[in-house]
């Protein structure tokens, strides 16, 4: 899909929701904690948000219907994919083409005399007008210096790129070829390979170490990283990509996290887009339930059938005996629309399985590059601390396969919270207090 079409379609729906709400840009921007100019750029199609969370909050503020939320997310996925391809192309632009007012021919002619002098073992000749006191001389010297510096930087960059691209250039033969999964992407592993189970609670998420190592994750051969450019999945034989957001919130009041830290050491509740960083900083675990947003998209024009999602349990233990922290501020109104493509699963079951929420259809669904699907999963648990992941079955023509979807190479983790000390953060307060003790005006 052309860039202008994807961005324009996304911006058009944003504007429609904004205009229908009757709220001004200033009011909406204040509630979304962003600048008015940034919101203008999103609604005018001049920029595409890097994260979907503020887009969803904007839509909910504008009272978007469930169908509109799904359509908005679909348009954002397409616009974001085009933006990603544009960014990759810009990164490959030769330095001389990115200069302003200096073409390749000019750069070569400017640089030639100093280079020839240096190769002859003599210092470069000074410009003819260097000591004449003429005004243009300093400008020309600065121009030549800048051109030489640019050529040197380009040469170094090319050498580094060549070293990285060569076989054995800093990588053993069984590496991932330099392909790393984007931040927030689903872990996709080879068929039949389960993610490694989390360590026991005493070692996995101590106060001094985060629950997850956020270092570069590898995408094994035979699978495409989530958000990969069109064609990359086709080269690897997998015609579908999956992007998992394990720290999405169904509503501002729905999410809680367990952390093995006293209230005095905890930061205030984050906004939804900051939840992943907040969880990592505190070694926290989803409490009571976990809400996942999965975006499934084809890598080409052909139709891919998503046959189903299977829940796999990698480990079960007693619930964590940690403090329970609520993300909602007391007294703040909460609301969440009913999502389409919504499913629920009880991790307490002996064999957990996804069940469509009332009014929602069950698998299979069809996806392609221009027609992604978004699935919302609510995983609940009360009696255990559970490590789990998903297996997505797909088929396209005479091909089929299974993708393992997890949290960047690790299982999702959700723990029961019954009887745990619970805390909330009052509006205008300076710290966490026991839940239920806040007096509302």
Contacts for 195-198: CB closer than 8 Å, 24+ residues apart:
195/314, 195/389, 195/404, 195/406, 195/409, 195/410, 195/411, 196/314, 196/409, 196/410, 196/411, 197/314, 197/315, 197/387, 197/411, 198/314, 198/315, 198/387, 198/410, 198/411, 198/413
Nearest alpha carbon to residue 43 among 63, 65, 13: 13
Strand 186-189 versus strand 399-407 pairing type: antiparallel
CATH number of the structural domain 3-91: 1.10.260.40
Model confidence over 197-244: pLDDT tens digits? 554 443 344 333 344 443 333 333 333 334 333 334 444 579 999 999
Under 8 Å CB-to-CB from 326, ≥6 apart: which residues? 253, 256, 269, 422, 423, 424, 425, 435
Alpha-carbon span 129 to 253, nearest angstrom: 72
Q: How far is CA 162 from CA 156, 158, 159, 169, 175, in A?
A: 10, 6, 5, 8, 17
Contacts of 229 (CB under 8 A, 6+ apart): 81, 84, 85, 88
Torsion on CA atoms 197, 226, 216, 164, rounded to nearest 10: 140
Sorted by where each begins, the domain ranges of the chain are 3-91, 186-434
* pLDDT one-digit tens code per residue, 269-281: 998 889 999 999 9
Q: Are 207 and 260 in contact (CB under 8 A)?
A: yes
Distance, C-alpha 400 to centroid of its chain? 27
Report whether 378 contacts 342 (CB < 8 A).
yes
Torsion of the alpha carbons at 415, 418, 419 and 420, rounded to the nearest 10:
30
Please list the pLDDT of the chain residue by residue as tens digits (441 residues): 555 688 899 899 999 998 988 888 888 888 787 888 888 889 988 889 888 888 888 888 888 887 888 888 888 888 888 876 666 665 555 544 444 444 434 433 344 444 443 334 444 444 444 444 444 444 444 445 444 445 544 444 444 343 333 333 333 333 333 333 333 344 444 444 445 555 444 334 433 334 444 333 333 333 333 433 333 444 457 999 999 999 998 876 778 999 999 999 999 999 888 999 999 999 999 999 999 999 999 998 899 999 999 999 999 999 999 999 998 766 555 555 556 799 999 999 999 999 999 889 999 999 999 999 999 999 999 999 999 999 999 999 999 999 999 999 999 999 999 999 999 998 878 899 999 887 544
The mean pLDDT value of the chain amounts to 73
Residues 6+ apart with CB under 8 A from 373: 295, 296, 297, 306, 341, 365, 366, 367
Please report where in the chains the tokens 């990592």 appear, as a residue.
280
pTM metric for this prediction: 0.56
């Amino acid at each position: 899909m052309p860039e202008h079409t994807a961005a324009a379609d996304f911006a058009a729906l944003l504007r429609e929701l904004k205009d229908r709400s009757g709220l001004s840009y200033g009011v909406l921007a204040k509630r979304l904690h962003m600048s008015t100019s940034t919101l203008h750029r999103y609604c005018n199609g001049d920029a595409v948000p890097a994260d979907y969370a503020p887009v969803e909050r904007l839509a909910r503020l504008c009272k978007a219907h469930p169908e509109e939320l799904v359509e908005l997310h679909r348009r954002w996925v397409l616009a974001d994919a085009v933006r990603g391809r544009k960014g990759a192309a810009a990164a490959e632009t030769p330095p001389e083409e990115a200069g302003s007012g200096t073409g390749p021919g000019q750069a070569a002619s400017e640089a030639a005399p100093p280079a020839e002098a240096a190769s002859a073992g003599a210092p470069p000749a000074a410009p003819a007008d260097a000591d004449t006191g003429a005004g243009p001389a300093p400008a020309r010297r600065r121009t030549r210096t800048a051109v030489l510096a640019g050529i040197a930087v380009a040469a170094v960059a090319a050498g580094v790129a060549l070293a990285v691209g060569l076989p054995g250039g800093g990588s053993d033969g069984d590496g991932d070829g330099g392909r790393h999964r984007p931040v927030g992407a689903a872990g996709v592993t080879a068929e039949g390979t389960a993610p490694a189970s989390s360590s026991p609670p005493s070692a996995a998420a101590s106060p001094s170490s985060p629950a997850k190592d956020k270092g570069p994750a590898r995408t094994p051969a035979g699978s495409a990283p989530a958000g990969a450019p069109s064609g990359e999945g086709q080269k690897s034989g997998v015609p579908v990509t999956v992007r998992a957001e394990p720290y999405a919130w169904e509503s501002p009041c729905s999410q809680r996290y367990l952390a093995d830290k006293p209230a005095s050491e905890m930061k205030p509740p984050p906004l939804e887009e900051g939840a992943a960083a907040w969880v990592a900083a505190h070694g926290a675990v989803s409490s009571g339930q976990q809400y996942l947003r999965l975006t499934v998209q084809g890598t080409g024009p052909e139709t891919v059938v998503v046959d189903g999602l299977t829940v796999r349990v990698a480990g079960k233990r007693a619930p964590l005996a940690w403090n329970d922290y609520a993300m909602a501020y007391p007294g703040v109104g909460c609301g969440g629309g009913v999502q389409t493509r919504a499913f629920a699963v009880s991790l307490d079951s002996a064999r957990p399985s996804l069940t469509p929420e009332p009014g929602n259809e069950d698998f299979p669904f069809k996806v392609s590059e221009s027609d992604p699907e978004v699935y919302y999963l609510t995983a609940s648990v009360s009696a255990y601390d559970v490590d789990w992941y998903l297996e997505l079955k797909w088929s396209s023509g005479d091909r089929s396969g299974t993708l393992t979807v997890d949290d960047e190479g690790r299982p999702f983790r959700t723990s029961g919270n019954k009887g745990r000390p619970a805390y909330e953060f009052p509006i205008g307060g300076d710290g966490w207090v026991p839940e239920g003790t806040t007096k509302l005006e």
